[in-house]
Amino acid sequence: MVMTSSGRGPKPIAEGPAFLARADLQVLLDLLREDGRTLIGPTLDAGAIVYDEIASVEDLPRGWGDEQGPGRYRVRRRSDERLFGYVVGPTSWKKWTFPSLIPLTKGTRDGHRVSFEPAPIDAPKLAFLGVRACELAALGVQDRVLAGGPFTDPDFVARRAGIIVVAVQCTTSAPTCFCTSMGTGPEVTSGYDLSLTELDDGFLVAAGSRVGRDLLERLPLRPASATEQYGAAAVVANVRARIGDPVTADGLHDRLLAQLDHPRWAQVAERCITCGNCTLVCPTCFCTTVSQSTDLTGDHALSERIWDSCFSPGFAKVAGGSFRSRPRDRYRQWLTHKFATWLDQFGTFGCTGCGRCITWCPVGIDVREELNAIAPAVSLAPEAAIVEPVAAAPNDFVAARVLATRPETPGTVTLSLTGTDPAFARGSTGQFAMVALPGFPPLPISISRFLPDGIELTIRGAGPATKALAGLQIGDQVGLRGPLGNNWPLDRAVGRDLVIVTGGIGLAPLRPVIHAIIADRRRYGDVKLFYGARTPVDLHYRDELERWSKQDGIDVSLTVDRAGPEWHGRVGVVTQLFDQAVWDASNMIAFVCGPERMMQATATTLAGRGVPASRIYVTLERHMECGIGLCGHCQMGKYFVCRDGPVFSIAQLGDNFGREGI
């Protein structure tokens, strides 16, 4: 009997569970296909039940199940004709919501001109068939991470919008499942259009949205019997009982972060191959990197975004080395992110308990075992949720033109750029820009001055990309995206004495601070700049240093590591300059920029002289690619340095400041 809204009046079958015979499931698939949708669903391929494009019920894994354990997966013939008699396999739906490769930008160089053309977003019209509760939760996590923060991923937003989700209640489980612990399943409760519960000869069907109700009304249904309803509920309840509660999620955040020095991290690193499989099978892991390819002329470049993993050695690398050089650092980063700092950032765990990372770890490391060993259960309240409003991501790269170049020191040049994106006019001290030439990886570079119609960037030519930037000539173009990151808290310096401590090119991100102070000098108290360099010629902005000191009321103290014959000033490290300084720490605020060890030493000295940690600010360097907290590379504890920083107070960073491998 076909029930339609016209046949049933204004209260359609959506109000109560209905039954769809297994032989009629094709009707649903046809409805979705007639709507112009590509169907993605489970199918047997290469010895696993994967998600892929399907055309008909015949493509579903009829009569197939699976056996799973740590590092082990096998498909098994079932004794029945179930279509969904398996547990989640190696594929996750992020393959379609967040593909492993998307084109980003076409960069072109034509003589001095550069241009950047964003790739069009190609979002197909999809229907997902067979989404489990843990996977619905994972889509929800993706929504928060990629579409719920201050910056959104437009590609994800476009792909995710309008996908029809047909969920399936779990009627079977694997020993790797722990959705019950993570609070995501096994019951499908929300986030779907239609849900199916498979019974011996058909499905209990329920709608979870208006789209779902419309579909349901066009299906050949009959009302479900009480036995069928009871049976469906019982089978899911059985799954819950079978899984149990392998991990105590309550208080896990605090328990885990209290164990950053646990010896187990080194032990698990003996087993961990750092291959990255766990992160790429994870339905919520979102880290990416951008790869560049050029043709032989170098004039045409294509940048593509691909999945990346925090387990790869290059993930947290910067010019001087990696912030997480040891495998134990990377395992700790991953586990603490999934089960602790993800909560701070996104108000939800990064884990939905699907168990993929356990099954598909080639050496069978079980996160549940590691969690229970490192952070055994005690009762503590979970952290409050933080969900920030949706905002648009900054535009793609916009070409700016080199107006002037000025050598600062041997190997360092300041570029004055004009024709920058209007957003830079609203930029603030301490912010940075992603700077790109076609074919080269974009680099995060501090803005060293704000101009009426542009900015200045000070660049040290170290690697090929920075050398290419440092070699730009007047009239050349360069791509800019920004301004990005937060700023030095100048408002907190109003009416206070300010100490600025820096060395070498570290003065670049602080130079706009001094410009801002000079522009409104009377609002601030005593301003002292302590500035060090390796040799006298390595001092940046030398003309300005003199002017600041002589005319602008800034107390400038300089020191060098190695003096030349011309140098009559101080020799030694910058912290030694404090020895002679007289100050009132009670009303003081400090801005510090330099290598992390120098900043630590400076912060310790300042704290020792009475400046509170909440008023000592540093700016951090990390591996940055996206600049807006979406690619994952610059994570430090609960922060994305690019988005939440780069400026932090020592109080904010707490014990993580200077900790190895964070």
Q: Which residues bind another protein (CB under 8 A)?
A: 45-48, 50, 71-75, 90-91, 95, 100-101, 109, 111-112, 270-277, 280-281, 291-298, 306-307, 309, 312-314, 327, 359-364, 437, 439-440, 463-465, 467-468, 471-473, 476
Q: How far is the CB of 440 from another protein (least distance, A)?
A: 5
Query: Measured from the CB atom, is 140 or 364 closer to another protein?
Result: 364
CB of 38 to another protein, least distance (A): 16
CB of 466 to another protein, least distance (A): 11
Q: How far is the CB of 398 from another protein (least distance, A)?
A: 19
Select 276 or 532, whichever has its Cβ closest to another protein: 276
Shortest CB 83 distance to another protein, Å: 20
Q: At its nearest, how many Å lie between another protein and the CB of residue 296? A: 5
Q: What angle do CA 318, 323, 328 make, to 5 degrees?
A: 140
- The minimum distance between CB 285 and another protein, in angstroms, equals 10
Q: At what angle do helices 264-271 and 327-336 cross, to 10 degrees?
A: 110
Q: Rank residues 397 and 530 by Cβ distance to another protein and give the closer one.
A: 397
Judged by CB, which is closer to another protein: 229, or 312? Answer: 312
Between 88 and 620, whose beta carbon lies closer to another protein?
88
Q: How far apart are CA 498 and CA 516, in angstroms?
A: 13
Could you give the 3-state DSSP secondary structure of residue 293? strand
**Closer residue to another protein, CB minimum distance, 363 or 390:** 363
Dig out the tokens for 129 from the structure. Answer: 């068939």
Burial tier of 569 (Cβ tally within 10 Å: 0-12, 13-18, 19+) = exposed
**Least distance between another protein and beta carbon 326 (Å):** 8
Q: How far is the CB of 635 from another protein (least distance, A)?
A: 18
Query: Residues 6 or more apart from 262 whose CB is under 8 A from it?
Result: 374
Using an 8 Å Cβ cutoff, are 642 and 484 in contact? yes
**Taking the complex as a whole, how short is the minimal distance between the CB of residue 46 and another protein, in angstroms?**
5
Query: Cβ distance 623 to 308 under 8 Å?
Result: no
C-alpha span between 340 and 509 (Å, rounded): 32
Length of the chain: 662
Rounded to whole angstroms, what are the CA distances from 354 to 60, 307, 360, 480?
21, 20, 11, 40
Cβ atoms within 10 Å, residue 576: 14
- Least distance (Å) from another protein to the CB of residue 42? 13
Q: Radius of gyration over alpha carbons of the chain, in Å?
A: 29
**In the numeric block, which tokens belong to residue 583?**
């100050």
- Among 465, 517, 471, residue whose Cα is nearest residue 496: 517
Segment (H or E) for 369: helix 367-374
* 196, 167 contact by CB (below 8 A): yes
- Rounded to a whole number of angstroms, the minimum distance from the CB of residue 561 to another protein is 29
Closest CA to 328 of 338, 339, 336, 340: 336
| CA torsion angle 345 348 349 352 (round to 10) | -140
Residue among 222 and 467 whose Cβ is closer to another protein? 467
CA nearest 366: which of 493, 538, 533, 178? 178
Q: How far is the CB of 175 from another protein (least distance, A)?
A: 14
Nearest to 114 by CA among 459, 439, 455: 439
341: tokens are 């700092």
For the chain, the farthest-separated pair of C-alpha atoms sits apart, in whole angstroms, at: 100
Q: Residue 450 contacts by C-beta under 8 Å, 6 or more apart in sequence? A: 424, 425, 427, 456, 512, 515
Q: 558 by DSSP, 3-state: which?
A: strand
* Pick 253 or 401: Cβ nearer another protein: 401
